[in-house]
């Protein structure tokens, strides 16, 4: 059974004055499976928070319905099994970390002793033991996000729904929250979280749905996008010049720093190229599959073949094509080698296109 099931859900916002149409979400339909980390990806204003509010029973859909473990989203049965971290949570500022968690535990009707024990364990799990007696008003953004996550876990939920849990955090804070999300998955929980940051989604999600301007563009398996899309393989070698390598009949050869880089189309071609190179006295330094990133996939979904202005085109040159030569972009295409990307500006350019 699906953990979280969106069945043709739509939500229309109209202005209260003249009923002017403001925004439409959907209709969207997809299901989150048990035990997966599911990313809900889209630029600001796409409708992620609206979707999550409908899923949490906080907004009534204009059509369709959401089921959680087979129960209507606004039912008691559903709510008991869900933990939720809103996008901009507000917590009572004068409470300490521990008081705040036990307050929420009370709301779920936890017995006094169990409540305190669980709150203590959760503080530890999110790395806030030291802040147990600190007032929330003194918490940093990262600490607020952690205590918010702990709050979402107080009822030991099977489904954890997080709205932009990684935004506004520094890299260390983001890594910590990513690790926490992964540890929840390891405990068998299902996690649904929204993000406008492609990289975070790519790093931890099993599947993603891509939303843009209220429309669901794709629901896809992250590993498959990355697997299916090995584009070419780079063999980095020492001890042979670009010219000498070309002289061996290898088509796509370029220099990268002090290395000579030979690109081949697939794994079958790797061994042949390596023996040719080694026969000519070269030493293999690395063999690197050059992958398409989720960003490339996103771009191809949203923008199709055309490149959005200011953003990297979805199709990098294919050096293994007969006449192909690695362009300047090829070197940056590897997942490991990819420079940090400005995702907000990427989305800004995507939004102009759609
Ligand atoms: N209560 C509301 N009334 C009217 N429009 C709304 C309301 N809530 C959100 N919107 C609009 O719906 C769109 C989607 O917003 P939101 O779901 O917050 O997007 P996201 O979370 O992806 O940034 C935006 O254009 C926003 O202005
Ligand atoms: Mg939002």
- Written as six digits, the tokens of 234 are 């780079």
Q: Which atom of ligand 1 is nearest to the CA of 43?
A: 22
- pLDDT over 90, % of the chain: 51
Segment among 15-19, 201-205, 289-293 with least mean pLDDT:
289-293
pLDDT at 6 over 70: yes
Render pLDDT for 81-100 as a digit per residue (tens, 0 to 9): 999 999 988 889 999 999 99
Q: How far is the CA of 163 from the centre of ligand 2 (A)?
A: 7
Which protein residue has the closest C-alpha to ligand 1 atom 26? Answer: 45
Q: Is 63 in the pocket of ligand 1 (CB under 6 A)?
A: no
Number of domains in the chain: 2
Q: Which domain holds residue 128?
A: 4-224
Q: Distance between CA 347 and CA 308 in Å, rounded?
A: 10
- What is the tens place of the pLDDT at every residue in 265-274? 888 889 999 9
Tell which of 178, 196, 224 closes a domain.
Answer: 224
Pair 248, 141 in one domain = no
pLDDT surpasses 50 at 181: yes
Both 336 and 278 in one domain: the answer is yes
The reply to whether ligand 1 has any atom less than 6 angstroms from the CB of 13 is yes
Whether 187 and 303 share a structural domain: no
Task: Pick the last residue of a domain from 157, 191, 224.
Answer: 224
Rounded Cα–Cα distance for residues 292 and 228 (Å): 9
- What's the whole-number average pLDDT of the chain? 82
Asked if residue 197 has pLDDT above 50, the reply is: yes
Taking the complete model, does pTM exceed 0.75, yes or no?
no
Predicted local confidence at residue 292, as pLDDT:
67
pLDDT band at 230 (very low <50, low <70, confident <90, very high): low
Domain match, 204 and 269 both: no
The atom number, within ligand 1, closest to the CA of 214 reads 14
**Sign of the alpha-carbon dihedral angle for 232, 296, 40, 25:** negative
Residue 296 has pLDDT above 80, yes or no: no
Residue ranges near ligand 2 (ion) with Cβ within 5 Å: 48-49, 87
Q: What is the mean pLDDT of residues 147-168?
A: 92
Atom 4 of ligand 1: nearest residue by CA position: 13
The runs of H, that is alpha helices, within the chain are 48-55, 76-80, 97-107, 112-125, 141-152, 171-186, 198-204, 222-228, 242-247, 267-279, 294-303, 343-353
């Amino acid at each position: 059974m699906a953990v979280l099931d969106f069945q043709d859900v739509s939500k229309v916002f109209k202005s209260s004055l003249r009923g002017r149409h403001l925004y439409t979400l959907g209709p969207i339909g997809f299901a989150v499976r048990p035990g997966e980390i599911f990313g809900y990806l889209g630029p600001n204003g796409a409708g992620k928070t609206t979707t999550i509010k409908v899923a949490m029973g906080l907004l009534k859909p204009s059509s369709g319905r959401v089921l959680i473990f087979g129960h209507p989203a606004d039912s008691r049965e559903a709510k008991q099994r869900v933990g939720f971290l809103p996008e901009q949570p507000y917590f009572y500022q004068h409470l300490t970390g521990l008081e705040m968690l036990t307050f929420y535990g009370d709301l779920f009707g936890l017995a006094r002793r169990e409540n305190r024990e669980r709150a203590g364990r959760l503080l530890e799990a999110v790395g806030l033991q030291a802040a147990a007696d600190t007032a929330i008003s003194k918490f940093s953004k990262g600490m607020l996000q952690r205590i918010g996550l702990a709050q979402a876990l107080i009822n030991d939920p099977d489904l954890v729904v997080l709205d932009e849990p990684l935004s506004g955090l520094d890299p260390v804070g983001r890594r910590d929250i990513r690790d926490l999300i992964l540890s929840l998955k390891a405990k068998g929980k299902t996690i649904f979280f929204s993000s406008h940051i492609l990289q975070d989604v790519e790093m931890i999600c099993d599947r993603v749905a891509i939303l843009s301007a209220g429309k669901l563009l794709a629901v896809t398996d992250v590993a498959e996008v990355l697997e299916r899309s090995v584009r070419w393989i780079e063999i980095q070698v020492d001890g042979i010049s670009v010219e000498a390598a070309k002289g061996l009949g290898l088509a796509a050869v370029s220099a990268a720093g002090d290395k000579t880089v030979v690109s081949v189309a697939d794994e079958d071609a790797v061994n042949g190229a390596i023996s040719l190179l080694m026969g000519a006295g070269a030493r293999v330094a690395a063999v690197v599959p050059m992958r398409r990133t989720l960003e490339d996939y996103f771009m191809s979904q949203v923008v199709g073949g055309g490149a959005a202005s200011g953003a990297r085109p979805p199709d990098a040159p294919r050096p293994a094509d007969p006449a192909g030569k690695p362009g300047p972009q090829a070197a940056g295409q590897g997942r490991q080698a990819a420079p940090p990307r400005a995702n907000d500006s990427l989305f800004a350019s995507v939004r102009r296109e759609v």
